Structure 1
Amino acid sequence: MTMSMHRRDLFRAILPLSMGMGGVARAAEPARDATNRDHGVAPSGPFDIVARFDGPGPSGIAVTHGRIFVGFPRHAVNHRGATLAELKGGKLYPYPDVTHSMPSDQPPANRLMSVHGMTTDARGRLWAIDDGKLAGQPLAPGAAKVIGIDPETDRIFASIILHAPTLLADSHMNDLRVDLTHGAQGTVYVTDSSFGLSPALVVVDIATGRQRRVLADHPSIKAERPFMAVVEGRPLVFDPPQHPPAFVWGGVDGITLSPDSTTLYYSPLTSRRLYSIPTDLLADFSKTDVQLAAGIRDLGEKGVADGLATDAKGRIYTTNFEHDAIFRRNADGTFDTMVHDPRILSPDGIFVDGDMVYCTLGQWNRLGGLNGGHDLRVPPYYLIRFPTDVHGPVDTTKPAHG
């Protein structure tokens, strides 16, 4: 009885607001055409197409001394092209040379198998993570490694083989960042997003090759489950074995350093949260997982992201495969939409060079393994770039022009 009275009283209160003269209900004014649309789906933000690739899909990207380097991994499709290439005059050239970058009969430890994430250090040297994986084949000994190349000489100066117990049979060494402020020659941080369900952070001392696997059991490292992502308008659930993976998924994946290398930021691929940890802790091989976990900070949501990158102001750029977009997390924790466009499918590797941001678009969500054996990718694949600062951030609450 009391609930019925409350509902009747509420109806009486609302009724006068919805009635016109003579007690006749009238419809609201029609929405104006200029505002009766979802402004968030319109393309926004300026970007240039740096290159179009008709062959293998691109992943890693790094720019140093005006030179552009792109990685083409072989773990999804064992292609016959270069796995690491320099982009010059619109053409790709195997890098550092044909012997290392093209398929061959050389032992896995002596060549590049499947280059994925890429970065540069504070000295402008190029670094890449070779995940070592060829599609349909087990991970071979010596295949997974950290590679350092000096662009001044175009020679490999560091090749650190990853091995057990740091490397697992289902490891997917995905991305890396290089910190020259810790260790005699620097420290490398690698995300093992895992081809299975065993992700972890990997720490490597450049001078000695000493390496270890950390935080494998921490929630900030693992893929969230159950987890739903909306990709190209399709609601897809990650919750194996009940739901087979239908979108690109994995544990800790995106990784980036603060400009002064004091903080490492990271995020699982199947997650919307951003985490950080002091490099003083992470680079210290004497620290236990318990001690490392005490230094982790949950920085809140940032959307789903594959690649992460930082500019000189400490702002973090996050790719987003749900919204065909790239966002920026500002120093105060607010976000801007930098670019948004239906061509920005599976934004992957991302790199900041001065006042420009570069990003590869690989269409990875369309791979046959995620679509019942049907490869739905449509070349060309793109490498795009956009400025770190434009005349004003995109405001999707305001009517779009046109």
Structure 2
Amino acid sequence: MDEGDYIQVMLPSEMYFGKFEAVFLFYDAMPTGVTVSETGRIFICFPKWGDDVKFTVAEIVRGTLQPYPSLDANVVSPSNITTSFISVQSVVADGQGTLWVLDTGAPNFSEPIKGGAKLVAVDLNTNTIRSRKIVPNGIMETIAHDPRILWPDTFSIGPDQYLYFIVNQLHRQSRFHYGNDLWQKPYSLLRMKIDEPPAPTY
């Protein structure tokens, strides 16, 4: 090759697509959950995983974060463990006027504080807590361990007190195994008796 000649190298490039816009930027505590109500209200949660979390549930109101449903509901003391938010990991607006709040009661990935783990229903019309379901002893436990349960995806408790769940082997997709498809049909809908009724939605 003569001096001055060169080889043109074509480098791989990414193609960007999708149009989006920033709704809110967080410069303090790290958020994990977002939900939008049927009227367009936006709620965020901030679990206590190391950041300085001033409130663990918030609503975006006119461009600012406001503790929801109140600051008092987000302030924890030994006397209100079962009634206040401790470390909320998920919020879901059900489209019917209720915000469901999942409080792990376990700041900094600790064991749940006794009485602190709970599912809370907040009435979006009155902005008040309507009900709480405390997780017994604040402890989650494994109820099944079986090699046939390959990626349980969706769960539902029926009126017969069975837990129904889909097993779809999602982790066996070719994209996770260098192009090799490891799926083995059939997929399954399984159930097991748990002697618990469906969770109330009112």
TM-score (norm 2): 0.68
Return the offset for 1:46.
1.5
Q: 1:130 aligns with which of 92, 100, 103?
A: 103
Structure 2 residue aligned with 1:150: 123
Return the offset for 1:57.
0.2
Q: Aligned to 1:44, what secondary structure does the other structure show? A: coil
Q: 1:286 aligns with which of 135, 154, 161?
A: 161
Structure 1 residue aligned with 2:46: 72
The correspondence of residues 61-210 of structure 1 with structure 2, limited to 5 A, is 61-64=34-37, 65-74=39-48, 76-77=49-50, 79-135=52-108, 138-164=111-137, 167-168=138-139, 171=140, 200=142
Structure 2 residue aligned with 1:319: none
Q: Does 1:60 align with 2:30?
A: no
Q: Distance in 1 between matches of 2:56 and 2:22?
A: 21
Q: Distance in 2 between matches of 1:302 and 1:108?
A: 42
Per-residue Cα deviation, 1:222-268 (whole angstroms, up to 9, x for no partner): 8xxxxxxxxxxxxxxxxxxxxxxxxxxxxxxxxxxxxxxxxxxxxxx
Return the offset for 1:55.
1.1
The correspondence of residues 2-401 of structure 1 with structure 2, limited to 5 A, is 33=10, 36-39=11-14, 42-64=15-37, 65-74=39-48, 76-77=49-50, 79-135=52-108, 138-164=111-137, 167-168=138-139, 171=140, 200=142, 214=143, 216-219=144-147, 275-277=153-155, 279=156, 282-284=157-159, 286-287=161-162, 292=164, 296-298=166-168, 300-301=170-171
Count of residues paired in the alignment: 166
Letter in 1 for 2:123: D
Q: Aligned to 1:100, what secondary structure does the other structure show? A: helix
Return the offset for 1:88.
1.1
Q: Distance in 2 between matches of 1:55 and 1:105?
A: 26
Q: Distance in 2 between matches of 1:107 and 1:92?
A: 23
Letter in 2 for 1:72: F
Stretches of structure 1 lacking an aligned partner (at least 5 in a row): 1-29, 172-197, 201-213, 223-272, 304-402
- 1:44/1:84 CA distance change after superposition, 3 Å: same
Q: Which has the higher strand share?
A: 1
- 1:52/1:44 CA distance change after superposition, 3 Å: same
Residues 276, 298 of structure 1: 8 Å contact kept: no
Per-residue Cα deviation, 1:58-105 (whole angstroms, up to 9, x for no partner): 01111111111100001x216341100111122111110010113445
Residues 30, 51 of structure 2: 8 Å contact kept: no
Return the offset for 1:296.
2.9
Q: Distance in 1 between matches of 2:18 and 2:8?
A: 27
Q: Aligned to 2:168, what secondary structure does the other structure show? A: strand
Residues 78, 134 of structure 1: 8 Å contact kept: no
- 1:120/1:136 CA distance change after superposition, 3 Å: closer
Per-residue Cα deviation, 1:259-300 (whole angstroms, up to 9, x for no partner): xxxxxxxxxxxxxx57345x3xx334633x7xx4xx533163
Residues 100, 120 of structure 2: 8 Å contact kept: yes
Q: Which has the higher helix share?
A: 1
**Percent identity of paired positions between Structure 1 and Structure 2:** 25
Q: Distance in 2 between matches of 1:221 and 1:85?
A: 36
Letter in 2 for 1:275: D
Letter in 2 for 1:283: G
Residues 94, 102 of structure 1: 8 Å contact kept: no
